[in-house]
Amino acid sequence: MTTSTPTRAAVTEPDRRLPALGGFAPGALGIELRRVLRNRRTLAFTLIMPGVFFLIFGLPQGGQSLDNGRPVTAYIMISLAVYAAMVATTSVGGAVATERALGWSRQLRLTPLRPAAYVATKLITAMSLGLLAVVVEFVVGTAAGVRVPAYVWLLSGLAAWLGSLVFAAFGLFIGYLAPAENVMQIIGPVLAVLAMFGGLFVPVEVLPDVLQQVAKFTPVYGMGVLARAPLTGDGVSMAAVVNLVVWALVFGVGAARLFRRDTARV
Amino acid sequence: MTSTHPAVELDGLTKSFGAVTAVDGLSLRVQPGEVVAFLGPNGAGKTTTIDMLLGLSRPDRGTVRVLGGTPDDAVARGRVAAVLQTGGLLKDLTVGETVRMTAHFYRHTRPAAEVLERAGITDIADRVVGRCSGGQQQRLRFALALLPDPDLMVLDEPTTGMDVEGRRDFWQALRRDARRGRTVIFATHYLDEADAYADRIVLVRQGRIVADGTTAEIKNLAAGRTVRATLPGADQAALAALPGVDAVEVRGDSVLVRTGDSDAIARHLLTRTAARDVEITSRNLEDAFLALTTAQTGA
Q: What is the ipTM of this complex?
A: 0.86
Domain containing B77 — which CATH number? 3.40.50.300
What is the rounded distance in angstroms from the CA atom of residue A139 to the CA atom of residue A85? 14
Please give the pLDDT value at position B247.
83
**Residue B299 covered by a domain:** no
Q: Mean pLDDT over residues B130-144, rounded? A: 91
Considering only CB atoms, which residues of chain A are within 8 Å of chain B?
A: 1-3, 6-8, 10-11, 14-20, 23, 25, 27-28, 31-32, 34-35, 38-39, 99, 101-104, 106-113, 265-266
Interface touch A7/B32, C-beta < 8 Å: yes
Q: What is the pLDDT of residue A13?
A: 75
Whole-angstrom Cα distance, residue A104 to residue B144?
A: 12
Structure confidence by residue, pLDDT tens digits, B75-93: 999 999 999 877 689 999 9
Residue B177: the pLDDT is 67
B101 and B171: one domain? yes
DSSP state of A205: G
pLDDT of residue B299: 33
Mean pLDDT of chain A: 89
Domains: count for chain A: 1
- Is a pLDDT exceeding 60 seen at residue B246? yes
Is residue A8 assigned to a domain? no
pLDDT at A190: 92
What is the percent of chain B with per-residue pLDDT over 90, rounded to a whole number?
Answer: 50
Question: Within a domain: residue A65?
Answer: yes
Interface contact A6-B100, CB threshold 8 A: no
Binary contact (A110, B81; C-beta < 8 A) = yes
Q: Which one of B220, B244, B273 terminates a domain?
A: B220
- The reply to whether residue A112 touches residue B86, judged by beta carbons under 8 angstroms, is no
**Predicted confidence (pLDDT) at residue B284 exceeds the cutoff of 70:** no
Q: Tell me what pLDDT residue A160 has.
A: 96
B288 inside domain: no
Residues B247, B175 share a domain: no
pLDDT higher than 70, residue B9: yes
Query: How many domains does chain B fold into?
Result: 2
> Is a pLDDT exceeding 90 seen at residue A151?
yes
B89: contact with A, CB 8 A cutoff: yes
Q: Is residue B133 part of a domain?
A: yes
Residue A219: domain span: 22-263
Predicted confidence band of residue A262 (pLDDT cuts 50, 70, 90): confident
Q: Are residue B45 and residue B168 in the same domain, yes or no?
A: yes
Tell me: pLDDT of B6 over 60: yes
Task: Collapse the DSSP code of A1 into the 3-class scheme (helix H, G, I; strand E, B; otherwise coil) and give the result.
Answer: coil
Distance from CA of B3 to the nearest CA of A (A): 7
Q: Please tell me the distance from the alpha carbon of residue A155 to that of residue A124, in angstroms, as a whole number.
A: 21
The answer to whether B178 faces chain A, any CB pair under 8 Å, is: no
Please indicate, yes or no, if residue A17 is contained in any of the structural domains. Answer: no
Stretch B242-267: mean pLDDT: 86
Q: Is B278 on the interface with A (CB under 8 A)?
A: no
Give the structural domain span for B273.
225-282
Average pLDDT, integer, range B249-275: 88
Q: Which of B3, B75, B141 sits opposite A112 (nearest CB)?
A: B75
Rounded Cα distance, A96 and B208, in Å: 37
pLDDT category at B178 given cuts 50, 70, 90 is: low
Per the CB < 8 A criterion, the answer to whether B68 and A1 are in contact is no
Average pLDDT over residues B178-186: 80
Clarify whether residues B157 and B271 are in a common domain: no
Report the percentage of chain B scoring pLDDT > 70: 91
Spatial contact of B48 and B156, defined as CB atoms under 8 Å apart: no
**Is residue B58 located within the same domain as residue B79?**
yes
Q: If contacts are CB pairs under 8 Å, which of residues 214-243 in chain B contact chain A?
A: none
- Cβ-defined contact of B105 to A23 (cutoff 8 Å): yes
Residue A238 has pLDDT above 50, yes or no: yes
Torsion, Cα B126 B130 B134 B140, to 10 degrees, reads 40
CATH label of the domain that carries residue B250: 3.30.70
Residues B32, B159 within the same domain: yes
For A88-105, the pLDDT digits (tens) are: 999 999 999 999 888 898
Task: Assess whether B147 and B23 both reside in one domain.
Answer: yes
Same-domain status, B82 and B140: yes
